[in-house]
Structure 1
């Protein structure tokens, strides 16, 4: 008795360990999305674009900071002053060095507009980054659901093939025994061929779904968990619309583009104004004009530059920048209208998908119940075998519809979340 109890405890422990390992190796939708974020090249591109935009801000800010420049020359030659000042020819090593420090005092707004443009570029790049992540999350959700659908379809058609093979075999036996006409054999063979074709399609669908999932995530679609519930979404369309107008990546990117264009226009107008800066210079010269020549200098002052005539270049830049502002404003308004339409459509799609999923689930349950009833009636001889095949086809179609409806429901929910900038 004690030995039996020990064996039972060991078996229970082994089973618990196996279940724990299985759960640890299982892949959820969230894990698949996280893997895709690490794997997808488009995320790397979006991250790099954001880093580049931040680097441009550092460049723009440098325009208001001092600069230091060191210039130096050295050479070797022969200098002949032609007895000027009584100096004769001699070999010389002419060399000079100058260090200059400059601090901008007034740039006419060039630097400020450049900083504003760079900041708008960062906002646009970050919005593009968010949009890329949202699009990838939706693609992974669709691929995840397609893998589950393909696996379920494969199981259903494998079961159908087994049953149609057996029905076709029994039809041939009854025909040989003279109990049924050849029509039953032909119909059973046709249903068997249909089942084989359906299985081939399911196998092809599974291969394609696996390849797409692996391409997106870098993972093998092994032991995928069922689709989860929808992510949290606003309760009303008005709430969704308000959030989308505030956070939608496409709209935020368009708004950033408008701000960047406006900053560029300010920068173009600023080029008509002078620039003023303070400077300090120190230099040293050796062997430049006659042998053993020495000179040191130090200067502090203010330097101004004003290009008051450019032959129309600056006016052209201002006109170009103004046109870019109008175009950016139009793009922003177009993005706003597009987002509004997409939010209305996607929000309604979520509600529709939920209703379709419920109806498809009920249909699948009813079809499965009807299949069991027909199977029992065929077993007792109340209905022919072909009725069982018809019931099988209806059950498979209903189950496939329910599986696809679950995928459509979660994809629709993620689409709304993406439009709201939540992903």
Structure 2
């Protein structure tokens, strides 16, 4: 056995030892996705936006409570009023003061407050669905970058084995050149192929470093080895996938929340066509007011009534509001079609990937057999070195494609889950772990005050 062969075997043993020693630091794909969903700043930004919407809904509690106002002033007053003031008091500068309080409680406002709560509750639900949709996208991104790292790690192994194989052939060629059975040009040829194999390894290693950098940005930490490639279960048919995708889609649910919000906002705008009734009460204490000396206390309580019977432009306002709702309905239909298409594409990629994977598996088995046969025929002087190197090149290319096909099938299976809005949950992250329960509008429609009792836990 030549020194080169001994070096190749030693390299293989070292690689195996490293893989065994790193087993304890393995990072399953689920751990990577969960870490990304809990630490990525873009998700936390969406969570803050959702919570801000919920707090803004809580602000509307004040619409159902009395408004209390305290007022007062102090200064000087000069009044010229001969009919009501005596000559001694008239046109004289005196100091004056006033302090008081007033309260107002709206009893009826044309259902403005209720629809305002409904609209904002729908807005909160929309922010929840938008966050959950973002979490699905983040889970898919984390899955993609994980699989990409695994793919490049595997390709590095393939490239290293390719170098080792070419060095093994190089050792055989040098023995045959020294024995006079091959020309020296064959030794130069194998050296050229070894250099090309080394360049291919350098390209793959650079791509692996790039994939690792992207992984660290999305997941929030560097990958730990070994990482494994797994495939998720998918529905049995394309039609089942599309139906589930549309039914579960957070994107469609967000679009529906926009429709509901538009309808409630329409009722808010139209509320001024009904009477407004409020209970008012107040008390004030005056000193030297109205030009005369002395104190006076005023107390009042009663109902205030206002009804705007006519205002120009109401028909145009109603038509504009109807068009806004029509726009939201059309955008919901766009979302349905987008999800339908996304599910169809995910299914096509998955099925096509399976077919390509099966074809490459068969082709790789054939290429390996051809390489073995050509290797024996080369040693028996029945095949030239170029013949052997060409089949080695074909085997390497097929194995390279097979690794990418395996990764593509795995990613396509997770993409199918993302199309159904179930990817995060597949990795153990429930919607309640990411967002508030999206039932604010339903609760508000039962009773607007119900949504004001929501507890919003602080972000950890």
TM-score by length of structure 1 reads: 0.82
- Aligned in 2, Cα 1:164/1:241: closer, same or farther, shift over 3 Å? closer
Structure 1: runs of 5 or more not aligned: 1-17
Deviation track 1:199-230 (CA, whole Å, cap 9, x = no partner) reads 12112211111111111111112214212230
- Aligned in 2, Cα 1:170/1:353: closer, same or farther, shift over 3 Å? closer
Kept in 2, the 8 Å contact 1:39–1:216? The answer is: no
What residue in structure 1 maps to residue 245 of structure 2? 244
Kept in 2, the 8 Å contact 1:152–1:400? The answer is: no
Higher mean alpha-carbon deviation, 169-178 vs 50-59, is at 169-178
The separation in 1 between residues aligned to 2:127 and 2:371, in whole angstroms, is 55
What residue in structure 1 maps to residue 295 of structure 2? 294
The separation in 2 between residues aligned to 1:279 and 1:213, in whole angstroms, is 62
What residue in structure 2 maps to residue 199 of structure 1? 201
The separation in 2 between residues aligned to 1:33 and 1:259, in whole angstroms, is 33
Say what the alpha-carbon RMSD is for the aligned residues.
Answer: 3.3
The separation in 2 between residues aligned to 1:38 and 1:137, in whole angstroms, is 11
Deviation track 1:346-377 (CA, whole Å, cap 9, x = no partner) reads 23433333343344344445544554555555
Offset at residue 173 of structure 1 (A): 7.2
Residues 1:164 and 2:166 are matched in the alignment: yes
SS state of the match for residue 421, structure 1? coil
Kept in 2, the 8 Å contact 1:141–1:410? The answer is: no
- Aligned in 2, Cα 1:25/1:85: closer, same or farther, shift over 3 Å? farther
SS state of the match for residue 75, structure 1? strand
- Aligned in 2, Cα 1:34/1:287: closer, same or farther, shift over 3 Å? farther
Residues 1:390 and 2:418 are matched in the alignment: no
Residues 1:134 and 2:136 are matched in the alignment: yes
Offset at residue 147 of structure 1 (A): 0.8
- Aligned in 2, Cα 1:381/1:315: closer, same or farther, shift over 3 Å? same
SS state of the match for residue 304, structure 2? strand
Kept in 2, the 8 Å contact 1:61–1:111? The answer is: no
What residue in structure 1 maps to residue 353 of structure 2? 353
Offset at residue 329 of structure 1 (A): 1.4
Offset at residue 164 of structure 1 (A): 3.1
Residues 1:334 and 2:337 are matched in the alignment: no
Deviation track 1:176-205 (CA, whole Å, cap 9, x = no partner) reads 775433542453244234213311211221
Offset at residue 149 of structure 1 (A): 1.3
The separation in 1 between residues aligned to 2:133 and 2:79, in whole angstroms, is 72
Q: How do residues 11-410 of structure 1 correspond to structure 2 at under 5 angstroms?
A: 25-63=25-63, 65-77=64-76, 84=86, 92=95, 94-100=97-103, 102-165=104-167, 167-168=169-170, 171=173, 179-181=181-183, 183-230=185-232, 232-289=233-290, 293-312=294-313, 314-368=314-368, 370-372=370-372, 374-375=374-375, 378=378, 383-410=383-410
